[in-house]
Structure 1
Amino acid sequence: MRQENSSFRESVRRIVEHQYFQPFVIGLILFNGLIIITETYITGNQFLITLDKIIVWIFVLELVLKIIGLGSRTYFSDKWNIFDFSIVVGSLVFYATPFVSVMRLIRVLRLIRMIPAIPALRKIIDSLLKSVPALMGILGLSILIFSIYAIIGTTFFSDVLPAEFFGSFHSSLFTLLQVVTFESWASQVARPIMHEVPWAWVYFVSFIIIGALVILNLVVAVILSYLGQDDDNVREEQMNQLFRENQELKKDIQEIKQILLEKK
């Protein structure tokens, strides 16, 4: 009986690990996304609803096959599998609720699983995740700079432009965000203020230099450093491997030399 179960699990595993299994699932997810988009134009269409139900149960079948073929322990040891499991179970639980459209849309996010399959994308994502602590420091510095300039702007420019620009602290923050993105900042914000307050150019120029150029370059520098760090780690591991192989080769040569001396 145990042998039959093992044989059945092995057969299911071969199906799950087949080269066409994952492309089929991804194609089904894309098709499901098209159905969701179509439902935004044609609401209540019975054919689309039936297709959606069929796809949901295919997702359930995929889930069951993976759990059987890989084993529950192996399956749930992968965070992406836990994500898939939550999406499928949530789709079933909330299918008859107003949240069903949101849950169906979340299933499209399973395309994110393609990222680990592409080395270049995987390297970028890994570097971004590793750089999060350093980026949090830059985020704190950015909040401090924005807050200082927002207070200055509210203090000196609140009466120059309408209140929606520098009338309050939070509106000043939003205006500074517009300035730092270079979206109509000169014609809509800077020049009208400079017409009334001539020294305002110092405020805007210094903020752009510090807030946009310096902070942006810091972010790029941090991410690039972590991208290069992966290459350095690979290079270091290769050098260590060569060193170990060299040591083993020296040891073998010494043993051969010792054997030859003993024969003499």
Structure 2
Amino acid sequence: MNIQKRLFFSEEAIMLVILLNAITIFLQGFHLESNLLHRLSDLDNILTLYFIAEAVYKVKLLGSRQYFRDGWNRFDFLLILLATPSLLFWFSPNTNAGLDFLLIFRTARALKFIRFFRFIPGIQVLTSGIKRALKASVLVIMAFFIYNFIVAVLSCYMFAELSPEHFGNPLSSLYSVFKVFTIEGWYEIPESMMEAATPWQEVGIKSFFVIILLTGGIFGLSLVNSIFVDAMVMDNNDELEKKVDALNLKVDQLLEQLKKEEELV
């Protein structure tokens, strides 16, 4: 029992397995000898079995309610479920071709590295800050997406014939508009459009893209970022204010005590 606890409850052991799994999958991305790749694949599947055994043992020891009460355990269990289907091809290489779609779950193996974050000191503070920031900025993000959607549909109807590669359909238009909003290389799209445009069309294109760059790229994204960051540091500011208030209270108490002692003297 002690060996099992050390194997499945020791943070050092779990971190070592996660690190070994990361190195294994990293090496499989290179064009190595087939024999070596086969051995790396076997090692990867064995490590996946370790994670499955870890989850089963913890559920058995802690109970399903207590195990799934922890958010990290629920997240770990989800990652294990995503990586498990790929084991079918390890145990049965001649699996029916109709199940080839399960191979897509092999990409989920890389998600197991996310488990490493739970061992970072102070990660709970970071995750709680992100949750709080998402709750505070969800309405602004939705409004930003709706604005992006409206501009994308409008751009699709305006520039579909002039630039079909960027605005030929609503989906490609949505991507192009969002690319402009990010400001990174925003000028490439309008410049490519103006190559086949008339002088009046050039004026319209320049005006249109300047407007959506200002409203969506500079003001829109800046607003979303500022609200998100402000919500993340809000908890730290609250803690500092509480500490300052507590310190002021202690100072006031000491001053009152000094006054009483002076009166007695």
TM-score calculated relative to the size of structure 2: 0.67
Equivalent residue, structure 1, for 2:191: 187
Q: 1:47 to 1:158 in 2, by over 3 A?
A: closer
Alignment gaps of 5+ in structure 1: 1-7, 258-264
Runs of 4+ in structure 1 off by over 6 angstroms are 243-247
C-alpha deviation, 1:222, in angstroms: 0.8
> Structure 2: how far apart are the matches of 1:228 and 1:128?
10
Equivalent residue, structure 2, for 1:79: 71
Q: 1:49 to 1:12 in 2, by over 3 A?
A: closer
Q: 1:156 to 1:231 in 2, by over 3 A?
A: same
**Higher Rg of the two aligned structures:** 1
Q: Residues 153 and 166 of structure 1 are in contact (CA less than 8 Å); yes or no, is this contact kept in structure 2? A: yes
Q: Alignment RMSD, CA only?
A: 4.1
Is the counterpart of residue 98 in structure 1 residue 90 in structure 2?
no
2:232 paired residue among 216, 227, 230: 227
Q: 1:239 to 1:70 in 2, by over 3 A?
A: farther
Is the counterpart of residue 206 in structure 1 residue 211 in structure 2?
yes
Q: 1:42 to 1:79 in 2, by over 3 A?
A: farther
Q: Residues 127 and 223 of structure 1 are in contact (CA less than 8 Å); yes or no, is this contact kept in structure 2? A: no
SS at match of 2:226: helix
SS at match of 1:209: helix
> Structure 1: how far apart are the matches of 2:63 and 2:107?
28
Deviations 1:199-249 (A, max 9, x none): 3122111111001001111111112211220212322443566589899x8
The percentage of counterpart residues that share the same residue type is 22
> Structure 2: how far apart are the matches of 1:156 and 1:168?
11
Equivalent residue, structure 1, for 2:95: none
> Structure 2: how far apart are the matches of 1:45 and 1:13?
32
Q: 1:73 to 1:114 in 2, by over 3 A?
A: same
Matches within 5 A, 1:105-254: 105-119=107-121, 123-150=125-152, 152-154=154-156, 156-159=158-161, 161-167=162-168, 169-181=170-182, 182-183=185-186, 184-189=188-193, 192-193=196-197, 195-200=199-204, 201-239=206-244
Equivalent residue, structure 1, for 2:96: none
> Structure 2: how far apart are the matches of 1:89 and 1:158?
43
Paired residue type of 2:76: D
> Structure 2: how far apart are the matches of 1:22 and 1:54?
14
Q: Which moved more, 1:142-151 or 1:229-238?
A: 142-151
Alignment gaps of 5+ in structure 2: 89-98
> Structure 2: how far apart are the matches of 1:103 and 1:169?
30
Deviations 1:103-157 (A, max 9, x none): 4442432322333443576555433322224433223333443344345545554
Equivalent residue, structure 2, for 1:261: none
Q: Residues 25 and 44 of structure 2 are in contact (CA less than 8 Å); yes or no, is this contact kept in structure 1? A: no
Q: Residues 13 and 68 of structure 1 are in contact (CA less than 8 Å); yes or no, is this contact kept in structure 2? A: no
